[in-house]
Homo-oligomer: A and B are copies of this chain.
Amino acid sequence: MRYSQYFIPTVKETPSDAEVISHQLMLRAGMIRKLAAGIYNYLPLGLRSVRKVEKIVREEMNRAGSIELLMPSVQPAELWQESKRWEQYGKELLRFKDRKDAEFCLGPTHEEVVTDIVRREIKSYRQLPLSLYQIQTKFRDEIRPRFGLMRGREFIMKDAYSFDVDGAAADISYDKMYQAYRRIFQRCGLNFRAVEADTGSIGGSSSHEFMVLADSGEDAIVSCSACEYAANVEKAEARPLPIEHAEPRPLEKIETPAKRSVEEVTAFLGIPASALVKTLLLVADGEPVAALVRGDHDLNEIKLKHLLGCEELMMADESLVQRVTGAPVGFAGPVGLSIRIVADLALQGMKNFTAGANVADMHLKNVNPGRDFTPTTFADIRNVVHGDQCPRCAAGHLEVWRGIEVGHVFKLGTKYSDALKATYLDSDGKERVVFMGCYGIGIGRTVAACVEQNYDENGIIFPIPIAPFHCVVSAVNAKDAEVMAAAEELYRTLTEMGVEVLFDDRDERPGIKFKDADLIGIPLRLVVGAKNLAEGKVELKVRKGGEVQLVPFADAAARIQTLVKEALSC
């Protein structure tokens, strides 16, 4: 592609409304443009990377035996009423009426539609397993769309659905997809982790998230230093901690005037945060409950919610805290509390800790569970932290990373097939419900996550497999006929070799050309200049790392081809 005949509107200044690096750089590189909040145009360069990801996804889906189809964006309310999600989904589901007042929504996902197809067409166990996928535009009316493609409202997604005779067969389908996902993100050239995750509102029994590692990631994930264990922090299991060997000391009431937070209390008393216990008051489906976690730990509300089996869980407001504890916020403690108390496992072995006294400006020292209060239950209700022992192996400890979720696989069980009555006849002629799995990849998000992981102060550093072009050929001086002829020849040769070349034939200063090439992140660059050319050489620069070498003109194309082939064969 000739740069002069292409459309890459790069921008020098960082747009003021772009908070994260991928949003800033994709705007600056002319890859995307905002149309409305969370709704983006994919400009030519951005679309090329999107298509690269799509192609890899498609190849791996096909290889895994999934069959591509295309379902509509506009979906009738009836199907969503059958699954009960018409009521449950909330405002992210964009609903509207057509000219005949029939109710529809813009599909945020396609479980209902695909299950409808399957219940109509699948009659017998002989037709199973079946796996269907599509690459399609979805819409979710996010309350706070932001971060460019990272949290958009309209976005491109690959969604796959598996249908099996039973749970064991569904596990096999799930594993196939899991493996396909590993290959997809490997082939994209991304550094990622597959982690155990919570199933959330999609439902089902188990799930994994695929996380691209990046400091800016919205999600915290952990992995074991020794074994394969990895999980989202929401889901990661904490082991009980070792039991402290100390004699219980007498309970003491001490003054802590206006000291409420962990930081304030521990600083005032000169104790470590791990010697304090936080008493958090929450409301679970209308009932107050106290959650106890160590001062240096964070409550994991998802674990607590699962434990309580409640629909809604929120922090108690000030008046409720006052009513339940008899004290203002900041002085709650377990001793004397008459509501349900859930204590984190870490408290099982703690001795003589400090906690609120349920009296204004007072705390208790030397609190001991069993002697001073008895929790309703001990349970794993905290987020794991860096250094925690691995819940799977004895040897490793947990490391915490930041990650961006780009894929998610779910075992759905029979949630949707039950609701929509998707059944088949087994070999005995008995009617059975199909077991489902669903599997998503955010296509645009994968490109954005790639940028979050691969950039420097000059711009994007695309890995070759999903770069918009593999190589840029820059003619230093477009007015120099010899330079242009040599550059043209490289452009032609490389294109014939199957390398995707952006030929910067613009009549611009070299500085501008190099800045643009760096900004848009083309992995390989050949610079054709008069001086080097006179010696039969061109400059080859690798964007990642910035390595520059002079190579013989005659070898340049073959060198590039080799680098591209290597990168694509991973």
Contacts and interface: CB of A to CB of B under 8 A. Distances in A.
A184 interface: no
Contacts of A154: 72-74
Contact of A69 (B42, B95, B106): B42
Contacts of A65: 5
A234 B321 CA distance: 77
A153 B68 contact: no
A153 B69 contact: no
A205 to B, nearest CB: 26
A106 B105 CA distance: 12
Contacts of A130: 7
Interface string A44-70: 100100100000000000000101111
A99 interface: yes
A120 interface: yes
A35 B99 contact: no
Interface string A70-100: 1111111000000000000001101110110
**Among A39, A72, A120, A137, residue most surrounded by chain B Cβ atoms (within 10 Å):** A72
A116 interface: yes
A500 interface: no
Contact of A71 (B7, B41, B71, B121): B41
A36 interface: yes
Nearest to A5: B65
A219 interface: no
A44 B69 contact: yes
Contacts of A102: 36
Contacts of A96: 94-96
A33 interface: yes
B72 A43 contact: no
Contacts of A74: 36, 39, 106, 139, 153-154
B120 A33 contact: yes
14 contacts: A7-B130, A7-B132, A39-B72, A41-B71, A41-B113, A42-B69, A42-B71, A50-B70, A73-B137, A73-B154, A92-B99, A94-B99, A95-B96, A106-B106
Given A41-B72, A42-B69, A73-B73, 10 more contacts: A5-B65, A6-B67, A39-B74, A43-B117, A44-B67, A44-B68, A92-B99, A95-B96, A99-B143, A137-B137
